[in-house]
A and B are shown apart, each in its own frame.
Chain A
Amino acid sequence: MISINNISKQFGKLKALDSLTIEFLSGECVALIGPNGSGKTTLIKSILGMVVPDDGTILFNKKNISNDWIYRSQIGYMPQIGRYPENMTIGQVIGMMKDIRKSEKNILDEELIEKFELQGMINKRMRILSGGTTQKVSASLAFLFNADVLILDEPTAGLDAVSSEILKEKILKENSKGKLIIITSHVLSDLDNLITQIVCMQDGKLKFQKAKSLLKMETGEEKLSKAIAKIMLQN
């Protein structure tokens, strides 16, 4: 569904992505892991067109995304730190996004808005929201448009246990519908029962891409975090 071919990106002296090639297939739930500063967010932003790679191509459904914008209607994105216009209320932000992205063919999915009980604070301004509530708004917006691809950058960071479970359930549900889900997270135990694929990055390069079951089998570990730790130590 998304194929990334040899992309590179340099910020000043720092090489954030170094001729990276990855393929994401639909129906997968991919965990994008790697140490801090390994280029995970840059990769995600490149897929979204927020960062323009210096080199290489990104294909979305076999179409090059450079100078294209329509493909983004098939992506729901939840940023690591959601930044919204401070003076708008939750209701206004959701209303605006609906207004901008509305089309006949996508049915709105307001399940998360209901489950997170955002209706009750629809008149609160974005400025005064706590980090967790902002995350809830981001998550609701990402799932709102029934997009085929969901990109979640650190989705459970800052969420309390209950909300985190609601979100994980939702991810599982959407994944079972055959949607491609890409998650970055540091908390590996969080992801254990969600994901099917693991993509590990280091210094802007791909370290390995493996199915979860294969990884567990190779290392002989039951827990994902231990399996990955073992692989990291091996190299």
Chain B
Amino acid sequence: MRKVVKYVILDILKSKIILSYTLVLFLISFSVFSLEDNTAKGLLSLLNIELFVLPLVSIIFSTIYIYNSSEFIELLVSQPLKRKSIWLSLFYGLSVSLVVSFFIASGLPVLYYEPTVTGLIMVLVGCLLSIIFVAIALLASVITRDKAKGIGMAIFLWLYFAIIFDGLVLFLLIQYADYPLEKPMMIISACNPIDLSRIVILLRLDVSALMGYTGAVFKDFFGTTKGLMTAVTVLLLWVFIPLGFSLRIFRKKDL
């Protein structure tokens, strides 16, 4: 299994995409912090980039990679290797490359300018988001054989998590404005890893004061260590559930 992971990572490094992604993200991260004299502002700008760009790159790159390695997967399946370890090797290879490139490009600047717990949480959440969207990409690409359909599905999933979900929540809030929605909102936010990450980080920043009563309820829960642990657990579930489903499908898939 370790051998297959090695070949996957070597293959990913050979395509220049990950390297250019790292370089661009690194430049953005540094310039964001250099433009603002207040690191909290820099952190906030970077947060928005992190919550949009990171999932997008992660899901699209992984989906395309899986489709492009269909020959490689076919070759491996006919060899004395477990299907489970082939699939997990692909997952590890993609996750490691994306997490390392995020850590170098964005994690190091954040930890340099903001060496606090908040900075650390932001880096951790970024790493988790990268892995979550690799897992979702694996699920999207194992469901359909058609490359165009698979990539379309990946883009739609990103659109849903990054934009459409917020619209639906807003719609829900306005429709049921007369009811106390603070508690249900916490559960709804767990249904979207991007939202959950945003809440966890925003609550560490001063701007959370602008979030009104809902913000206060959130702070009450996610502000505590226990709340933070819960949030991280939910994010981990977002890794394991899509990965588990994709693994189940892959084990029965005809190649």
Interface on A for B, CB 8 Å cutoff? 11, 45, 48-52, 69-73, 77, 79, 83-87, 96-97, 99-101
Contact = CB atoms under 8 A, between A and B. Distances in A.
Interface stretch (B75-83, B96-104, B166-174, B185-193): B75-83
Pairs A-B, 6 closest by C-beta atoms: A73-B80, A83-B71, A72-B80, A51-B254, A85-B72, A50-B255
B3 A99 contact: yes
Interface of B: 3-4, 7, 11, 14-15, 69-72, 74-83, 252-255
Given A50-B254, A52-B254, A87-B11, A69 B74 contact: no
Given A49-B78, A50-B254, A50-B255, 14 more contacts: A45-B254, A48-B77, A49-B77, A50-B77, A50-B78, A51-B254, A70-B80, A71-B80, A77-B78, A83-B74, A84-B71, A87-B11, A96-B7, A101-B80
Contacts of B83: 49, 69
B4 to A, nearest CB: 7
13 contacts: A49-B78, A49-B83, A50-B74, A52-B253, A72-B78, A72-B79, A83-B74, A84-B72, A84-B75, A85-B69, A85-B71, A86-B71, A87-B14
Contacts, number: 57
Contacts of B254: 11, 45, 50-52
Contacts of A86: 71
Contacts of B82: 69
Contacts of A101: 79-80
A224 B113 CA distance: 80
Nearest to B69: A85
Given A69-B81, A85-B69, A100 B74 contact: no
Nearest to B85: A69
B11 A69 contact: no
A85 B68 CA distance: 9
A11 B254 CA distance: 10
Contacts of B77: 48-50
Nearest to A9: B254
Contacts of A48: 77-78
A183 B77 CA distance: 20
Contacts of B70: 83
A77 B77 CA distance: 11
Nearest to A86: B71
Contacts of B81: 69, 72, 100
A69 B7 contact: no
B7, B75, B81: residue with the most chain A Cβ atoms closer than 10 Å = B75
Contacts of A77: 78
Contacts of A96: 7
Contacts of A83: 70-71, 74-75
B14, B71, B79, B81: residue with the most chain A Cβ atoms closer than 10 Å = B79
B3 A51 contact: no
A215 B75 CA distance: 36
A100 B7 CA distance: 10
B45 to A, nearest CB: 37
B74 to A, nearest CB: 6
A87 B3 CA distance: 18
A6 B153 CA distance: 38
A85 B11 contact: yes
A100 B79 contact: yes
Contacts of A97: 79
A83 B15 CA distance: 19
